[in-house]
Amino acid sequence: MKAMALETYGSDDDLRARELPDPKVAPGEVLIRVRAAGVNPVDWKLASGGLDGIMETQFPLIPGWDVAGVVEAVGLDAGEYSVGDEVYGYVRKDWAKNGTYAELVSAHVRMLAPKPASLDWREAASVPLAGLTALQALDRVEVGAGDTVLVHAAAGGVGSFGVQISVARGARVIGTASEHNHEHLRALGAEPVTYGEGLVERVRALAPEGVDAVMDFVGGGVAALPVTEHRERVVSIADAEVTGRGGRYVWVRPDADGLVELSRLADAGDLTVHVDREFPLEEAGEAWRLSRTGRTRGKIVLTL
């Protein structure tokens, strides 16, 4: 199969198209013909060695954890799916080697769900990692109807899902973003505020008694801002020190039930996906360069 891979830890220019063996399909797994693969910052962080102390990595390394595609083969004891089924998923195994930047990827059924009927391949591949991250962060602090939630980096891949899921649950959302993304946030149902000096005062102007929960999807100390009295309802995906201040830290887990819930929201019209840019698989390095700028709205996707 054709895949984008690295022979050792490296960067954008080290990611090259290669012919590699088709992945084996273990019991409980299916083989997926990839139609699109989402690009996430963790992909290039892993490739640079940034997760070396966290995950076992084997080379050649095919990056990528987001996938949307068609089941090509079914392994032993994987009767949940049949050949030809359209699926999507967050394919994170116990070690990093055979990721989704490839024509084929094997995945355990616990990492997959039927593809949302309302989303095309690009959109579906944009959802799993970022959507599950937002969903699990909101669940961790039990965001629901009547809450006022502050979402940091609200126009980004995770943040835009966090805004929409919160709104669908009946919460009021205040979202931080650059000014050029404010209209986008309003369209998602959030009240936008600008980053930078005076942020606490701007949030307090909208919520004088403070917010009920804080979603930190960017890091940089924003989880420590004095905008809530409920420190146990501050959750971060980028600042592990939040736990020392009474908050929660989330590292997203594969979850088929969570994917089913995201599909439900998408097909009900409560979750839309904005694809900022798409690249052919062979231009994955260019996709990483764009991702590194941190200035995309929504998601970056590779298509096959």
Show pLDDT as tens, one digit a residue, over the chain (304 residues): 999 999 999 999 999 999 999 999 999 999 999 999 999 999 999 999 989 888 899 999 999 999 999 999 999 999 999 999 999 999 999 999 999 999 999 999 999 999 999 999 999 999 999 999 999 999 999 999 999 999 999 999 999 999 999 999 999 999 999 999 999 999 999 999 998 999 999 999 999 999 999 999 999 999 999 999 999 999 999 999 999 999 999 999 999 999 999 999 999 999 999 999 999 999 999 999 999 997 777 799 999 9
- From residue 297, alpha-carbon distances to 81, 154, 185, 248, 290 in Å are 33, 10, 10, 26, 11
Question: Hey, is 194 helix, strand or coil?
Answer: coil
- From residue 288, alpha-carbon distances to 111, 129, 261 in Å are 24, 16, 29
- What is the architecture of the domain spanning 2-127+273-303? Alpha-Beta Complex (3.90)
252 contacts: CB under 8 Å, gap ≥ 6: 90, 129, 132, 133, 136, 237
* CA dihedral sign, ordered 236, 241, 245, 250: positive
Cis amide linkage into residue 280, ω under 30° from 0: no
What pairing do the DSSP bridges indicate for beta strands 234-236 and 213-216? parallel
pLDDT attached to residue 53:
83
Angle, in degrees to the nearest 10, between helices 157-168 and 128-140:
50
Angle, in degrees to the nearest 10, between helices 256-267 and 128-140:
100
With CA atoms as reference, report the closest residue to 282 among 266, 268, 303, 263: 303
Length of the chain: 304
pLDDT attached to residue 39:
97
- From residue 79, alpha-carbon distances to 30, 155, 282 in Å are 9, 38, 33
Distance CA 258, CA 86 (A): 17
Distance CA 129, CA 132 (A): 5
Q: For the whole model, what pTM was predicted?
A: 0.96
Please give the DSSP secondary-structure letter assigned to residue 67.
E
Question: Hey, is 205 helix, strand or coil?
Answer: helix
In the chain, CATH 3.40.50.720 sits at 130-249
Distance CA 232, CA 248 (A): 7
With CA atoms as reference, report the closest residue to 58 among 3, 4, 129, 6: 6
In the chain, CATH 3.90.180.10 sits at 2-127+273-303
Place of tokens 């039990």: 142
CB 40 within 8 A of CB 126: no
CATH fold of 130-249, please?
Answer: Rossmann fold (3.40.50)
Distance CA 142, CA 156 (A): 22
- DSSP lists the bridge partners of residue 303 as 36, 280
Distance CA 92, CA 44 (A): 15
